Structure 1
Amino acid sequence: MIRIFLTGYMGAGKTTLGKAFARELNVPFIDLDWYIEERFHKSIRELFVERGEASFRELERNMLHEVSEFEDVIISTGGGTPCFFDNMDYMNGHGQTVFLDVHPDILFNRLRVATHQRPILQGKTDEELRAFIADALEKRAPFYVQARYRFDAGHLESRRQIAGSVQQLRSLLGV
């Protein structure tokens, strides 16, 4: 049975690498944020605004527990998922956990071109975006590093790099 949780900051490549890895292993890929949006027919942003952060995080935890029962699956968590409740311990107890570690400069470059897709980043200057990323990584690092595996996901810019990363991840996890 395969159950792998990919964690890391936004822009780390959880969806990009997760989809490719799931195809390689011929198992379903679940993005926890997409799963939540499908279940509740609302965007993460709408749920966050309507419920507030505390209630949203509780909902997120419940959905994490739900998808953690699936077998033969790759699950991409939201960037903040590991940082609340006992989510990291829970994931470690229910599958293999991988922290997709990416240098802040690479995250900056990836997120800078995607600010229109991420409302929390909209309107930030380059300096503000760099500071935002650095601050968030500092706060989240104690949770991310609890993953069983740490994987350098800094090379996902081309199909060739993604394919190479998939093979490296497969070797690391022994699947």
Structure 2
Amino acid sequence: MMRIYLIGFMGSGKTHTGKALARQLGYIFTDLDDLIEKEAGMDIPAIFRKMGEEEFRRIEQKVLHDTSTIERVVISTGGGVPCFFDNIDWMNAHGLTVFLDTPPEILAQRLMPERAHRPLLQAYNEDTLLGFIRAKLSERMYFYRQAEIIYQQQELAGDVASDLLKVIDGKRKT
């Protein structure tokens, strides 16, 4: 196993789970958003403001393809990565994809305090955020469900990384 791509909606725990999973596997961890910011020389909100979403997605795809040179790595991707270009097919061809499937209510609870730092959420409040998440998830689910592993997260998620490690180990033996 060389590369593990964690996919899912923002707030699904890709970064938190990815760091723990990498530690348990003895892999390195990288966050695609960090690589995008390094490539662009500015943070994600600034990229959206100054360049727009289309240019952001172009940079995102380039940086994603650059990960093909990194081995023994867990990569946390942005929530939209699988939904643009041929990104989900590319990730499936270049590593193991894991979808962290998280209920919309849990996502809303996690994301409410973080809205200011997430460009796609800044226009929403407590009353409208859950509806936005449900609509966006509905649009993206087709792509998310193409992951090789779909990990259903529950309200009281335990040690997600350890659970995932068992699933990944099982996948390696088949």
Taking structure 2 as the reference length, the TM-score comes to 0.91
Structure 1, 20-29 or 109-118: larger mean CA deviation: 109-118
Partner in structure 2 of residue 173 of structure 1: 168
Aligned to 1:23: 23
Deviation at 1:36, TM superposition (A): 1.0
CA apart distance, 1:108:
1.0
1:99 touches 1:144 (CA, 8 Å); kept in 2? Answer: yes
- Cα offset for 1:155? 5.5
CA drift of 1:71 comes to 0.6
- Does residue 1:13 correspond to 2:17, yes or no? no
Equivalent in the alignment of 2:36: 36
Structure 1 residue 123, shift from structure 2 partner: 5.1
Which residue of 1 is the match for residue 96 of structure 2? 96
Q: Which amino acid aligns with 1:106?
A: I
1:100-111 mapped onto 2 (5 Å cutoff): 100-111=100-111
Distance across 2 between alignment mates of 1:87 and 1:123: 27
Percent identity, aligned pairs only, is 45
The aligned counterpart of 1:47 is: 47
- Superposition pairs of residues 119-130 of structure 1, within 5 angstroms: 119-122=119-122, 124-130=124-130
- Residues 16-47 of structure 1: per-residue CA shift (max 9 Å, x gap): 10011111111111100011112322011211
Deviation at 1:53, TM superposition (A): 1.7
Note the aligned Cα RMSD (angstroms): 1.6
For structure 2, the 5+ residue unaligned runs are none
Q: Give the match for residue 4 of structure 1.
A: 4
Letter in 1 for 2:146: Q
Deviation, structure 1 residue 93: 0.2
Q: Distance in 1 between matches of 2:131 and 2:96?
A: 31
Tell me, what secondary structure is at the counterpart of 1:68? helix
CA pair 48-123 structure 1, distance change in 2 beyond 3 A: closer
Runs (4+) off by over 3 Å: 153-157
User: What is the TM-score normalised by the length of structure 1?
Assistant: 0.90
Write the deviation string for residues 109-139 of structure 1: whole angstroms up to 9, x where unpaired: 1111222332432352222101110111011
Please say if residues 45 and 117 of structure 2, whose CA atoms lie closer than 8 Å, have aligned partners that are also in contact.
Answer: no
Q: Is the CA contact 2:12–2:102 (under 8 Å) kept in the aligned structure 1?
A: yes
Matched, 1:116 2:111: no
